[in-house]
Amino acid sequence: MEETFIPFCLVEKNESTKNALKKVIERVFRKSPIFTVDNGIECWDLVQKFNDLMIIIANYLESEYHTEQLVKNIRESEDPKIRNIFIIFITSNSNVELNFKALQVGADDFINKPFLIDEVIAKFQNAYRIMHLYKQIFNRDAIINDLREELRKDTLRMRDLLYLFECLRIPDGAERISRITEIALWIANEYDPNDLNLQNIIKDAAKLCFVGRLILPERNIGEIPTQNGYLKNEKMEKIPLFAKELFSFFRSYEDVADVVIHIYENYDGSGMPDKLEKGKIPLASRILRVVIDYDDYYNQKKYETNKIVSMLEAESRRLYDFRVVVLLAQYLAFRSSQLKVPTERPIEIEDLKEGMTLSRNVVTDSGLKVAVAGTLLTPESVERIQTIAKTDPIIGKIYVRIQ
């Protein structure tokens, strides 16, 4: 018990009382430091500087000691080491009401004047035992926190190592991961700009979106793994299973693991590895599936971007979350609007006017395609879009061609 050297602080001006208590502490707790202060204000200053567990014995018989404010400060501290300091009030045998009030204001115990030495020793020993237990708990928590930090660092090192393998083995791996991350984050922000957790998960998951493909032989590593929406052979079916096996070593990366493992789930429940469907598939997985499939086609350099989007739109609701496909198309429109000579731009729904031409499909949250790309707006079509949007919000933004 004494090896922890829990300190004592005496809040007492009376020299005889102070000396009597000091003698008890020095005799029973020989290695414990003893501080002495004149009032609660000085004690609170000491508590904040020491910033650790201690036992305070404070005079509660006279208001000039400010002990009630001291207790209030201690009990309201955000630091658990300060908040759990053991407080003993010096009270009087002749005032039972004062003893009761001492406990009400937050003291842990009290000792009465005139002192009974055996009682004082017993109460000090009880306080010391409790502080010793708290010390063990806080030390154990510190060790656990250190281990967690080491685990976090190990996880990040393993993540970075896998990312390096992806960059080395996947053709154009670093460039593709960077592109996928940019698009997926843009879509996530349009989906819900306030969901920072979604954006953080996507950022980490996108970095490892190809880890499952590391199991493939060299001759297959650059192939598109799906055909008609399904992993096309036994080799490709190992992709989510290998990702799951790899992530079993990531004890503190469960959210990211869940996203990467379920990238190849299909929206209708026909995918792998768990045949999840619709909203049961993590949103980040649904976003990455659309973006990765887009990038697989884009990387082959066989199709124009709008053709790829049309191919993905054709499989909305079967393979993909249609909202994500709509936002992918809007990402491409956004990139187009950033060119030196832009061909399209976003516009607020209330600013739609007759004569404008839509450059992208206009789709509502329920999946209703209100208008298709290439539509020349008339007063009737503008009114229809605006009326429907009042009860069925438009996904993302509306893009029009620059005349």
pLDDT in tens, 103-127: 888 899 989 888 899 999 999 999 9
Tokens in use for 169?
Answer: 């083995």
Q: Assign 190 a pLDDT band (cuts: 50, 70, 90).
A: very high
Mean pLDDT of 184-212: 94
**Mean pLDDT for the chain?**
91
pLDDT for res 2: 40
Per-residue pLDDT tens over the stretch 22-67: 999 999 999 999 999 999 999 999 999 999 999 999 988 777 778 8
Tokens in use for 112?
Answer: 């009465």
Q: Which residues of the chain form CATH 1.10.3210.10?
A: 170-338
pLDDT for res 6: 93
Residue 301 amino acid letter: K
What is the C-alpha to C-alpha distance for residues 372 and 83, in angstroms, rounded to an integer?
63
Q: Which residues of the chain form CATH 3.40.50.2300?
A: 2-144
Whether 333 contacts 305, CB under 8 Å: no
**Residue 114 vs residues 34, 91, 111: alpha-carbon distances, Å:** 22, 9, 9
Q: Assign 75 a pLDDT band (cuts: 50, 70, 90).
A: very high
Q: Assign 353 a pLDDT band (cuts: 50, 70, 90).
A: very high
Closest CA to 203 of 272, 267, 260, 264: 260
For residue 399, what are the β-bridge partners?
A: 346
Tell me which H or E stretch contains 362: strand 362-363
83 Cβ neighbours under 8 A, 6+ residues apart: 74, 75, 76, 77
- For residue 301, the tally of other CB atoms under 10 A from its CB is 7
Per-residue pLDDT tens over the stretch 248-289: 877 778 899 999 999 999 999 999 999 999 999 999 999 999
What is the C-alpha to C-alpha distance for residues 395 and 81, in angstroms, rounded to an integer?
51
Q: Assign 150 a pLDDT band (cuts: 50, 70, 90).
A: confident
Tokens in use for 386?
Answer: 């605006």
For residue 89, what are the β-bridge partners?
A: 58, 110
- Beta strand pairing call for 398-401 and 230-231: unpaired
Which CATH architecture does the domain made up of 341-403 adopt?
Alpha-Beta Complex (3.90)
What is the C-alpha to C-alpha distance for residues 209 and 260, in angstroms, rounded to an integer?
6
pLDDT for res 3: 58
Which CATH fold topology does 170-338 show?
Hypothetical protein af1432 (1.10.3210)
Side-chain-facing half-sphere of 331: CA atoms under 13 Å: 25
- Which region among 2-16, 23-37, 197-211, 370-384 has the lowest average model confidence (pLDDT)? 2-16
Query: Is residue 282 reached through a cis peptide bond, with omega within 30 degrees of 0 on the bond before it?
Result: no
- Which region among 9-13, 136-140, 151-155, 199-203 has the lowest average model confidence (pLDDT)? 151-155
Tell me which H or E stretch contains 57: strand 55-59
pTM here is 0.68
What is the C-alpha to C-alpha distance for residues 205 and 213, in angstroms, rounded to an integer?
14
What is the C-alpha to C-alpha distance for residues 220 and 213, in angstroms, rounded to an integer?
9
Residue percentage of the chain with pLDDT more than 70: 98
**Residue 76 vs residues 11, 242, 398: alpha-carbon distances, Å:** 20, 51, 52
- Tell whether the model's pLDDT for residue 178 goes beyond 70: yes
**CATH number for domain 2-144, candidates 3.90.1150.10, 1.20.272.10, 3.40.50.1820, 3.40.50.2300:** 3.40.50.2300
Mean pLDDT of 375-399: 94
- For residue 140, the tally of other CB atoms under 10 A from its CB is 10
